[in-house]
Structure 1
Amino acid sequence: MSIKPINTAIAGYGAAGEFYHAPFIASSPEFKLTNVQERHKEQSKLKFPEVKVLRTFSELTNDPEIELIVITTPNEFHFSMAKEAMEKGKHVVVDKPITVTSGDAEQLIKISKETGKILTVYQNRRLDAGLLTIKKIKEENGFGKIRHYEAHFDRFRPAIKDSWREKETPGGGLLYDLGVHLLDQTIYLWGRPQTITAKIERQRPDAVVDDFFEITLQYSGFKAVVKAGMLVEEKTPQLYVEGSKLTYFRYDLDPQEAALKQGLFPRDAAWEKETVPTPGFVRNTDCEESEYPSERGNYPYFYRNLAQAIRNGGELLVKPEEAHYVIKLIELAKVSSEEKITIDLSNV
């Protein structure tokens, strides 16, 4: 017996809606993209002529046919929109971050439990090729005792873009953008750390929000460093894990993002070819280096997992409590940077 597709709406149709959500919803038989909220345009109809474009969010939340709303608006609107959607009986995906403050995230979790509606966050970079490869080696105990972990997301972009992320708005800046991904990946791999120490800066002369951060998370026996900047010209390993038995490092980003920005959908025949990841590298205890095959990145799994959670009560890949913890870390990172202190996390 076939399962009825989940009628799905997307709120906002910028880059996140167009490239990171709509292709997966449209490629998944478990979902049916029925509505898109666009305040002024009808851009979504170029790729999805059958969808109904609505102008206001309340039109989405008041439509009894819609089961799931995917919120891809600027960060400052995540809380109010997710709150309204769940209170109106909709399941919710929030593009990362879950909210701007941990207090708001905690309130959304409470509403999710009270309404019985699913709340999850699009931490798709848990499904990057490099991270899945590290996870595989770790599960096989291939690293031995971990000595150091480092994750970078560097760019060379001296000019300020005309984007809300680069403006002085709640949830703007690099920490709430790439920092959310890097912290989530780290917690996903290694669990909750013991302390946090951060340096957050504005490095470009015209920057009005942070465009550089370096955050050190102390674990038992090793440190995890996550770092991103907009003025990095030199290519360094994007992921690095040093262990007593094996060291792994990888330079290239997962190709899924580039494929999505080319306009490919996971249902397209070219998807398999265009998303083959480059290999990483390993170094053994004799300092011998060799290529190491990468696991395939798997962004489509996020929505497959969500469908199972909605229809069959399956366990979510990204639990809202995990997203809430990441926002707590971001808030404490800002305190650490401003006060130049290391913060104990034992009670967080």
Structure 2
Amino acid sequence: MPTPSRWPLRVGIVGYGFAGRTFHAPLIDATPGLALVAISSGQRARVAQDWPQVQVVDTPDALFALPDLDMVVIASPNETHAPLARAALHAGLHVVVDKPFTLDLAQARALADEAQGCGRILSVFQNRRWDSDFLAIRNGLNAGMIGRVATFESRMDRFRPQVRDRWREADMPGSGLWFDLGPHLADQALQLFGLPDSIQATLACQRDDASIDDWAQVILLYGQMRVSLHCSMLAAWPGARFAVHGTGGTLLKRAADQQETQLRTGMVPGADGWGADPDDMLVFDGTDTPRAVPSPPGDQRIYYALLRDAVMGYRANPVPPIQAIAVMAVLETAARSARDGKRLSLPLKEEEKALWAQAWER
């Protein structure tokens, strides 16, 4: 790799809530070639305790105005994603937006245009592409272990019976479980199978005092193949993370990737055991005994390493705006399908479908 004009790249984060604290800060700090230098947050004491070498500023505008900053991560509440990303782009910064990209498809398109006009990289933090469970299933499908896929089931379930006092569970723009976990579920499905023909969805509020959806069942239709995306807050036993049925058998991945758990407990990304997954993927072929296939380790640092190289001009953006637009189209269409009780097609333009296909093929 040639010696870059600026090495390492200097990165700032807007927000030090769950996403900024648990994922972005430690992953950035553990990625060679990136330096976490500033955080915009009202939690000055907590940031200073966790990252004493990092400058803390009170507002996003103050962060964007810092000299020599190269890139900023927007890890604030969902309704602030689009305006803050726009402001950062116009400040001359490359921008990472936590999921979901924006509140709706119109905002997503407008923000993508802003990035193109500013000549800056705009990317979305789809870290779950580098989870061990997803990598195991993707490898199994690429190897043709079960022939043609007929049904793909993906679940992200939790057991949190009490509604918590936080914006993610309040009735406000961009909140609800589908907008929280749906971006991961949808992005993984699109990466494996491409754009669906249509979508049929149901959303529900199942917990006492819930004011926004906390259960979702979304079906993506691809000809005769069905992709089922499910998330819930009332699953004390969550079931298998993935179950894939095909003409030659079934792939079963029971346990989820462990990186979030490791990050919550303070493990440094890249430490011994980082991303290790002791849960084998099981391959059923119709006989009594399944075959166990070891799961590869996950490593969400790869997202930031690829993005670093994209900013330096060595490779393509790992999650370009067109892929974020497609995910937003799935999220929005599923919500409309649930509201109207209809099967709906994705409202993507033909040129957007072509751009998505080009990015997918890379």
Task: Assess, with a 3 A threshold, how the Cα gap between structure 1 residues 287 and 196 changes in structure 2: closer, same or farther.
Answer: farther
Match of 1:323 in 2: 324
Q: Identify the range of structure 1 (193-202 vs 240-249) with the bigger mean alpha-carbon deviation.
A: 240-249
TM-score normalised by L of structure 2? 0.92
Match of 1:163 among 158, 162, 166: 166
Task: Assess, with a 3 A threshold, how the Cα gap between structure 1 residues 243 and 196 changes in structure 2: closer, same or farther.
Answer: same
Matched, 1:236 2:242: no
Instruction: Note the alpha carbon deviations across 1:15-42, whole angstroms, 9 max, x for none.
Output: 1111101111111221111101112433
Matched, 1:185 2:164: no
- Unaligned 5+ segments in structure 1 are none
User: 1: CA distance between counterparts of 2:26 and 2:346?
Assistant: 38
Q: Give the secondary-structure state (helix, strand or coil) at the position aligned to 1:42.
A: helix
Q: CA deviation at 1:120?
A: 0.5
CA contact (8 A) 1:241 1:249 kept: yes
CA contact (8 A) 1:146 1:221 kept: no
Match of 2:303 in 1: 302
User: 2: CA distance between counterparts of 1:276 and 1:32?
Assistant: 28
Match of 1:102 in 2: 105
CA contact (8 A) 1:7 1:32 kept: yes
User: 1: CA distance between counterparts of 2:152 and 2:3?
Assistant: 45
Q: CA deviation at 1:231?
A: 1.2
Matched, 1:41 2:65: no
Match of 2:114 among 86, 111, 116: 111
| 1:60 aligned partner, one-letter code | L
Q: CA deviation at 1:267?
A: 4.0
Match of 1:130 in 2: 133
User: 1: CA distance between counterparts of 2:118 and 2:314?
Assistant: 15
Q: Identify the range of structure 1 (154-163 vs 302-311) with the bigger mean alpha-carbon deviation.
A: 154-163
Match of 2:333 in 1: 332
Match of 1:220 in 2: 223
Task: Assess, with a 3 A threshold, how the Cα gap between structure 1 residues 232 and 59 changes in structure 2: closer, same or farther.
Answer: same
CA contact (8 A) 1:10 1:36 kept: yes
Query: How many aligned residue pairs are there?
Result: 346
User: 1: CA distance between counterparts of 2:226 and 2:296?
Assistant: 25
User: 1: CA distance between counterparts of 2:64 and 2:117?
Assistant: 17
CA contact (8 A) 2:329 2:348 kept: no
| 1:29 aligned partner, one-letter code | P
Instruction: Note the alpha carbon deviations across 1:282-308, whole angstroms, 9 max, x for none.
Output: 101435313221111121100000011
Matched, 1:79 2:82: yes
Matched, 1:247 2:250: yes
Match of 1:343 in 2: 344
Task: Assess, with a 3 A threshold, how the Cα gap between structure 1 residues 265 and 95 changes in structure 2: closer, same or farther.
Answer: same
Q: CA deviation at 1:178?
A: 0.6
| 1:188 aligned partner, one-letter code | Q
- Unaligned 5+ segments in structure 2 are 350-362
| 1:323 aligned partner, one-letter code | A
Q: Identify the range of structure 1 (34-43 vs 82-91) with the bigger mean alpha-carbon deviation.
A: 34-43
When the two chains are superposed, the root-mean-square deviation of aligned CA atoms in Å is 1.6
Q: Identify the range of structure 1 (193-202 vs 131-140) with the bigger mean alpha-carbon deviation.
A: 131-140
CA contact (8 A) 1:196 1:343 kept: yes
| 1:30 aligned partner, one-letter code | G
Match of 2:178 in 1: 175
User: 1: CA distance between counterparts of 2:348 and 2:49?
Assistant: 50
Q: Percent identity?
A: 32
Instruction: Note the alpha carbon deviations across 1:48-101, whole angstroms, 9 max, x for none.
Output: 111110001111111231110011001000000000000110000111111111
CA contact (8 A) 1:124 1:299 kept: yes
CA contact (8 A) 2:254 2:279 kept: no
